Amino acid sequence: MEIILKEDIENLGHRGDVVKVAQGYGRNFLLPRNLAIEATAGNKAVIEQMKNSSVRRFAKEKADAELLVQQLDQVELSFTRKTGDNDHLFGSVTGPDIAQALESQGFQIDRRKVQLEEPLKSLGEFLVPVRLHREVTAHVKVIVAKEADAE
């Protein structure tokens, strides 16, 4: 089945691409979620308009993301966690934790854009990538520190 993508879909294609997919995937997933339209002759004519607006939107989103990168490069997030023997952390710092900390500083970043392969489970400084756009990635400095003992 040939479809025209209305949104970027990872491992499939970008907005405006004409791709072939399995019948079930197209009819049961992509079309009901309004992620794609069938590639008919009429829709293929509409795709040119979609591509033109997509190019303009892509350029604007990329420019916005590049401005946001400049702001995020200045951000430093600090997390304190309880530690045990040998400074071993109880718990960890996860992508949602980082997204929530960024939100508290006024940045609206979706937690799925925080590209943390696995949670931070040790003390120290880390550069965490945040994918703001398909071609733009920021790096946020995250510091994991030991919680002060209340003795």
Instruction: Give the pLDDT confidence of 14-27 residue by residue, as tens digits.
Output: 877 889 999 999 99
Flag whether pLDDT at 150 surpasses 60. Answer: no
CATH code, residues 73-146: 3.10.430.100
DSSP H or E stretch at residue 72: helix 41-72
Pair of tokens at residue 1: 């089945």
| Three-class DSSP category at 6 | coil
CATH, range 2-61: 3.40.5.10
Which residue spans of the chain are classified as CATH 3.10.430.100?
73-146
Task: Write out the residue limits of the CATH 3.40.5.10 domain(s) in the chain.
Answer: 2-61
With a CB cutoff of 8 Å and minimum separation 6, the contacts of 76 are 140, 141, 142, 143
In this prediction, residue 149 has a pLDDT band, given cuts at 50, 70 and 90, of: low
Task: Could you list the beta-strand ranges (E) of 23-98.
Answer: 36-38, 76-81
